[in-house]
Amino acid sequence: MGDNSLGNKFQITSFGESHGNLVGIILDGIPAGLELNEQFIQEELDKRRPGQSDLTTPREERDEFEIVSGVFNGKTTGAPICMFIRNKDVDSSKYETLKDYLRPAQVDFSAIKKYGGYSDYRGSGRFSGRITAGLVMAGAVAKQILQLKDIRIFAYTKSIGEINDATPYAIDDIEDCMISREKSKVRALNLEISIKMEKVIETVKIEGDSIGGEIKCVAKNIPAGIGGPIFNSLESSISKAIFSIPAIKGIEFGAGFKATRMKGSQHNDPWIVKEGRIKTSKNDSGGIIGGVSIGMPIEFTVAVKPTPTISKAQKTVNMKTMREETIVFSGRHDPCIVPRAVVVVEAMTAIALLDHLLTEGIIPSCL
Amino acid sequence: MGDNSLGNKFQITSFGESHGNLVGIILDGIPAGLELNEQFIQEELDKRRPGQSDLTTPREERDEFEIVSGVFNGKTTGAPICMFIRNKDVDSSKYETLKDYLRPAQVDFSAIKKYGGYSDYRGSGRFSGRITAGLVMAGAVAKQILQLKDIRIFAYTKSIGEINDATPYAIDDIEDCMISREKSKVRALNLEISIKMEKVIETVKIEGDSIGGEIKCVAKNIPAGIGGPIFNSLESSISKAIFSIPAIKGIEFGAGFKATRMKGSQHNDPWIVKEGRIKTSKNDSGGIIGGVSIGMPIEFTVAVKPTPTISKAQKTVNMKTMREETIVFSGRHDPCIVPRAVVVVEAMTAIALLDHLLTEGIIPSCL
Amino acid sequence: MGDNSLGNKFQITSFGESHGNLVGIILDGIPAGLELNEQFIQEELDKRRPGQSDLTTPREERDEFEIVSGVFNGKTTGAPICMFIRNKDVDSSKYETLKDYLRPAQVDFSAIKKYGGYSDYRGSGRFSGRITAGLVMAGAVAKQILQLKDIRIFAYTKSIGEINDATPYAIDDIEDCMISREKSKVRALNLEISIKMEKVIETVKIEGDSIGGEIKCVAKNIPAGIGGPIFNSLESSISKAIFSIPAIKGIEFGAGFKATRMKGSQHNDPWIVKEGRIKTSKNDSGGIIGGVSIGMPIEFTVAVKPTPTISKAQKTVNMKTMREETIVFSGRHDPCIVPRAVVVVEAMTAIALLDHLLTEGIIPSCL
Amino acid sequence: MGDNSLGNKFQITSFGESHGNLVGIILDGIPAGLELNEQFIQEELDKRRPGQSDLTTPREERDEFEIVSGVFNGKTTGAPICMFIRNKDVDSSKYETLKDYLRPAQVDFSAIKKYGGYSDYRGSGRFSGRITAGLVMAGAVAKQILQLKDIRIFAYTKSIGEINDATPYAIDDIEDCMISREKSKVRALNLEISIKMEKVIETVKIEGDSIGGEIKCVAKNIPAGIGGPIFNSLESSISKAIFSIPAIKGIEFGAGFKATRMKGSQHNDPWIVKEGRIKTSKNDSGGIIGGVSIGMPIEFTVAVKPTPTISKAQKTVNMKTMREETIVFSGRHDPCIVPRAVVVVEAMTAIALLDHLLTEGIIPSCL
């Protein structure tokens, strides 16, 4: 399989560049017969869109999408769905002036070593966070299929820097907060905590710096029995999908790293019977045991690193002269990418789970 | 691709069950012409072997392996290499008496939901940690190929419960400690810390309980330019491979979750020139930027949950009666799986990296 | 992998419909650094283009293509290349009036059974021969990479109906005929035979009927050692690629079906030494032994069925009434698809061979 | 995917060598809950077994198989099924004496170019027809699953040299002949024709020569709607699987190469209504239109080349001296491989079709 495709029965193929003509995605394996809600796709894109608040990059993109194949009379046909967004507000000027300098924590060196200097370096090209717009479109379609099985995916900002919302929300509480989440500039669930998080971002923005954070994601109504031992574990599929998002540097399922300090007697989730069905009384497993879903919510948390683009002076190397220098790289950027990444995490989760459900025959290939 | 295979150009296929005839692995894509060091494979298996110390399960398996294909006159031929270990000390008795009860945090429910009650439940069957013996054999061969490029992979026990070795070891220090690591019953690098960790395990063992921990893994001499943006990121491949190991519930690359509390100006690794080559002065990226290796060590840490099998009374459900009961599940088990998992983490890392190096043409398919 | 993708290291993904917005292709894995010859791509498309002679369908499509990603400053970047052709001369009227009738030998029934009636039926949608325009674009890029290794692929019309060019052309003779082939309306090598073939087509065209034929394809300078035993055989890869072309119903390598009537002593190609290199004195193996190339030309012949669309009265079924009726389906069509399919066969061969050469490390992923 | 695996949801992985320890296969994706008929597997192997008649190679192998994983209490568990046959009657002596000479039409040169001289050359190693014993085991299990859907696959010897059984058998007639087929030494349906075929083989055997032939294969009760346009066509999957069999050099579906001489009005199969269901009145399409099954029998014919191993003097090259010489290569061989290949063609067809049916969700992954 090519480097730019992901999935088994549901395969997405990403294409486009940050400052090229467009950013796009092909969805292969979406069941035929889905009445596509295009407005929903746009709403999802709007949650990732730059310029959505004063806490994000000023790059002005409306991110309006086109569907050019795979839909007929408003319904999916079973043929591959190609969708793309044309790039509008492209300012490549600054990439020319400093292109001999390696921007710290940026992909310049990676791209040269990988593609021998032929890659499109403008706006980081293929490595840009802008590529995730395609993922969000794919996720928005995947969510519509999942919804037919009443499966829903919710993510929110759990921490920004040191400000951490440690509340152990029940999944229904998270669902109830989804509208209020959109009132939070940072996509936190608790608006008091949100204000503290916003202040952290405003402060680093003024400093010309950036900050990281955590996103928590949960999936509701995944039936038991999805995934598998060894290589087909749900943790394997989800983590592979999630690490496709630039800036993600960690993932933990259920109790995660906290489990390393727990005893088995604390960590083991007791089995109970609830309304005639087998459940666990708590969910430290994150809903996955032996790589397989057990019918409890899938729960995981991801670590987002601080945006590498900052406007402070940084030490680096001029590749031409091979000399170390201290440079100020200016450029439009997000002081914190977490709020915009929330919907991308949801999208990749929807994509990974839908692939499992289609491949394992839980969702048919024709509605 | 089937559920029990992993990889592109280097594909491994796992088979066998915990209490069946054998546990095996097929390696497809190992370059022809490698003089296979069988003793090294056995040494690696010995590091995972049960019964290697009083801190592990008393199940007595010598784990002697056979190679039945793909090697001719002591060298690999380019044909698939099939290796297996026959199971010897199989005691399935206890699985019969309590088989109506769901063992907490165990795969009983997962297996029933996935395989409809037909799976081999003895010793958890396919879900057993014993399956990782096959992974260790594959890793031991992968390491021999990597060694030809001077690539080496080292892992060690970073924490057991609350005892954490926070020393920021340089990679050469880790390499130097590999022999002393084998003198530590828990595979820690520091023998003083090791004694504290052993005490933690001894305590939970006496309690009939278990404990989790962390394993740190580093890879040396991975050339820059391996991996890719989006779906082919090194983090995606490594995490997919690592989460194939039962009991792993988290992974973080470089600064990982700590990066969520850092500013860009702190987290960004400055580029420097060292001996004429471009490096970074620190390695908070874990050696991966934009999903691509930058020539620095690959560094990550994984979270291992406490062994679910404990001998304390636990609340659970009898599937037949659908009633909740409190049961003591006895059975041979490891009070802490971390020391035995260290070599499995190394193995999966070797497997994932070798696949990248073969697929990307860095290592030829014929030596 | 999704249904609309093909390949390992070089993966193509097809999208679009006959009467939709466009027909497109994504090329993933094309090495970075290729100076792309866009004129050549257009020339290749022109060989497949409808309306190129009075022997083809009158649908008027210029088939002008756009490249919207993966190329920067005229060179490939290593990123996926997305190319498409907008559909212009779309006349879907006739598909509405007779859409309850199953056109004989056409995909109506297949599409309904596969996609539950949701597929785009206009012009056969995804099943249309028009989809092969995307394959030709991919093939045109693949050929440019192959050319760097001096590998060339030539196909020609070997037979139309009973008119068969049985000349055992040497590969260099075929190469020499490539310009004159373009002077033949049917893409035959011998212009006298060409005239006979044209007459056959003109006759069936007047009758409102259609006719089949054979295409022979050869590949020059494929190095020995490509392919593999069992599932990776060159015959497996080439046939899988070739049968992706609608209307192909047979393939034979080297002596093919004639070999079934030969003795081993006749069929076995003697090994010889020629200019210091090991060759065979004839090529009944088609250049492939044990699934692996031996350095001789790859040679195979494919069977193309007569175009199913004809304007004669045909017996069929009205799906609504479930009654058998005799219907005249009119519609623009090719009386013989062979001349336009020649370049498609070349394209799929180039695609299959390039994938082998990239996957097996013969062509690097960065030029 | 590795070179030695095939399939999507149903993946087989082949291993072992002709003169090594064993020949084996792993089946991944066989639904859980199948009561495995081991006797049937042995009966299928017996049809491929060497030494089954005086028309086959005298190599004496009982081909008794072992199942070492994936079956518990007589039923499949959903885990990978590993099966193998130990090699017994291995005589590698002759491969040593003439190993500098390239056997005509044999894999010596291919293997050297592919594996750099490290491959196991004894008995052609991985390239040997003996590898197909693994395919027959896989096919025998696949057939048992298909039988649950009343799907059956039948093949027979259609021609040996010039002796051709051109009878247009109806599929039910073929099914009825399956027992009598086993009474024919060559696996022909008509015993009179069988005798003629046997004579042809006896004659070439006396001459120290060999002969080719054709195998026809049909699949009954494949539901309509399986396969897909472009890369997922049934012809693509079946041909890829079939060309994995050594000695196969051609395949044609339905009318195949004969269709190249037909007009559309002749070739198009009229749609009819039969017992309330839509069928075609003849089957020149081979049951596949647009790459998709239409509910008619799948029909195809394959070309088998004459066995390359003969005992006549042949011209070849000594690789060490690089001189051409005339050599008599003796060795046990089949004068005609067709009779033994019949069950292998059935097996690969069963494997390819089962993969489609599982991947497309027609057969569930748990019975």
CA distance C199 to chain D (A): 14
- pTM of the full structure: 0.97
Inspect the interface and report whether the beta carbons of D124 and C214 lie closer than 8 Å.
no
Inspect the interface and report whether the beta carbons of B114 and D5 lie closer than 8 Å.
no
Half-sphere exposure of C236 (CA within 13 A, CB side): 30
CA distance D223 to chain B (A): 24
Residues 302-361 of B with CB under 8 A from C: 359-361
Contacts of B5 in chain C (CB under 8 A): none
D348 to each of B184, C252, D218, D237, D341, how far by Cα in Å? 52, 18, 12, 10, 11
Please tell me which residue of chain A has the smallest CA distance to C122: A72
Contacts of A268 in chain B (CB under 8 A): 104-105, 306, 308, 310, 314
The residue with tokens 């083989």 is D201
Inspect the interface and report whether the beta carbons of A13 and C24 lie closer than 8 Å.
no
* pLDDT mean across residues, chain A: 95
The residue with tokens 């009982």 is D62
Q: What is the ipTM of this complex?
A: 0.97
pLDDT at B56: 80
Structure token pair of residue D188 = 């022909």
Q: How confident is the model at residue D201 (pLDDT cuts 50, 70, 90)?
A: very high
Average pLDDT over residues B159-182: 96
Query: Distance between CA atoms of D92 and B246, rounded to whole angstroms?
Result: 44
Inspect the interface and report whether the beta carbons of A231 and B281 lie closer than 8 Å.
no
Average pLDDT over residues A8-18: 97
Encode burial over A135-168: b for 16+ CB neighbours within 10 A, e otherwise.
Answer: bbbbbbbbbbbbbeeebbbbbbbbbbbebbbeee
pLDDT at C330: 73
What percent of chain D clears pLDDT 90, i.e. is strictly above it? 89
Q: What angle do CA D254, D258, D264 make, to 5 degrees?
A: 80
Please tell me which residue of chain B has the smallest CA distance to C359: B359
Contacts of A246 in chain B (CB under 8 A): 229, 290-291
Query: Distance between CA atoms of A134 and A6, rounded to whole angstroms?
Result: 13
Please tell me which residue of chain B has the smallest CA distance to C362: B361
Inspect the interface and report whether the beta carbons of D231 and C14 lie closer than 8 Å.
yes
pLDDT tens-digit map of A197-218: 999 999 999 999 999 999 999 9
**Domain spanning C5-359: which superfamily?**
Chorismate synthase AroC (3.60.150.10)
pLDDT at A94 over 70: no
Nearest to C259 among D1, D249, D263 (CB): D249
Substitution target from A19, A120, A121 for chain C, most C beta carbons within 10 A:
A120
pLDDT at B54: 84
Nearest to B11 among D1, D76, D81 (CB): D1
Contacts of C119 in chain D (CB under 8 A): none
Q: Residues 6 or more apart from B216 whose CB is under 8 A from it?
A: B155, B156, B158, B299, B300, B301
Contact call for residues D209 and C265 (beta carbons, < 8 A): yes
Nearest to C119 among A14, A77, A116 (CB): A77
A151-165, A323-337, D184-198: which has the minimum mean pLDDT? A323-337
Q: Residues 6 or more apart from C21 whose CB is under 8 A from it?
A: A68, A69, C86, C87
Sign (positive or negative) of CA dihedral B351, B356, B360, B362: negative
Q: Where are the domains of chain D?
A: 5-359
**B343 alpha carbon, distance to own chain's centre:** 6
Residues 80-139 of A with CB under 8 A from B: 102, 104-107, 109-111, 113-114, 124, 126-127, 131
CA distance B365 to chain A (A): 18
Nearest to A365 among D9, D360, D365 (CB): D360
Contacts of B364 in chain C (CB under 8 A): 361
Nearest to B360 among C8, C360, C365 (CB): C365
Average pLDDT over residues D200-215: 97
Structure token pair of residue C153 = 């692929």
CA distance A206 to chain D (A): 50
pLDDT at C114: 96
pLDDT at C95: 67
Which chains lie within 8 Å of chain D at 3 or more CB pairs, if any? A, B, C
Q: How confident is the model at residue D94 (pLDDT cuts 50, 70, 90)?
A: low
Nearest to B105 among A257, A267, A317 (CB): A267
CA distance C25 to chain A (A): 10
Contact call for residues C288 and C235 (beta carbons, < 8 A): yes
Inspect the interface and report whether the beta carbons of D249 and C256 lie closer than 8 Å.
yes
What percent of chain A clears pLDDT 70, i.e. is strictly above it? 99
pLDDT at B208: 95
pLDDT at B95: 67
Q: DSSP assignment, residue A84? A: E
CA distance D73 to chain C (A): 32
CA distance D225 to chain B (A): 22
A55-69, B251-265, C266-280: which has the minimum mean pLDDT? A55-69
Which chains lie within 8 Å of chain C at 3 or more CB pairs, if any? A, B, D
Structure token pair of residue C229 = 């035993």
pLDDT at A95: 67
Q: How confident is the model at residue A62 (pLDDT cuts 50, 70, 90)?
A: confident
Nearest to D290 among C204, C224, C246 (CB): C246
pLDDT at B88: 86
CA distance A176 to chain B (A): 26
Q: DSSP assignment, residue C227? A: B
pLDDT tens-digit map of D183-192: 999 999 999 9
CA distance C274 to chain B (A): 26
Contact call for residues C80 and C28 (beta carbons, < 8 A): yes
Contact call for residues D217 and D345 (beta carbons, < 8 A): yes
Query: Distance between CA atoms of B147 and B166, rounded to whole angstroms?
Result: 28
Q: Residues 6 or more apart from D196 whose CB is under 8 A from it?
A: D163
The residue with tokens 């933690």 is B200
Inspect the interface and report whether the beta carbons of D26 and B13 lie closer than 8 Å.
yes
pLDDT at B18 over 80: yes
Please tell me which residue of chain C has the smallest CA distance to D309: C264
Q: Considering only CA atoms, which of D28, D22, D31, D23 is closest in space to residue D6? A: D28
Please tell me which residue of chain D has the smallest CA distance to B8: D1
pLDDT at A290: 97
pLDDT tens by residue, chain C, 367 residues: 999 999 999 999 999 999 999 999 999 999 999 999 999 999 999 999 988 888 887 777 788 999 999 999 999 999 999 999 999 877 777 667 777 899 999 999 999 999 999 999 888 899 999 999 999 999 999 999 999 999 999 999 999 999 999 999 999 999 999 999 999 999 999 999 999 999 999 999 999 999 999 999 999 999 999 999 999 999 999 999 999 999 999 999 999 999 999 999 999 999 999 999 999 999 999 999 999 999 999 999 999 999 999 999 999 999 999 999 999 987 668 999 999 999 999 999 999 999 999 999 999 999 8
Query: Distance between CA atoms of B246 and B35, rounded to whole angstroms?
Result: 31
pLDDT tens-digit map of D128-151: 999 999 999 999 999 999 999 999
Contacts of B109 in chain A (CB under 8 A): 224, 271, 278, 289, 294
Substitution target from B106, B234, B237, B261 for chain A, most A beta carbons within 10 A:
B261
What number of other Cβ atoms are within 10 A of residue B257's Cβ?
A: 22
Q: How confident is the model at residue D74 (pLDDT cuts 50, 70, 90)?
A: very high
What percent of chain A clears pLDDT 90, i.e. is strictly above it? 89
Please tell me which residue of chain B has the smallest CA distance to A283: B105
Q: Residues 6 or more apart from D39 whose CB is under 8 A from it?
A: none
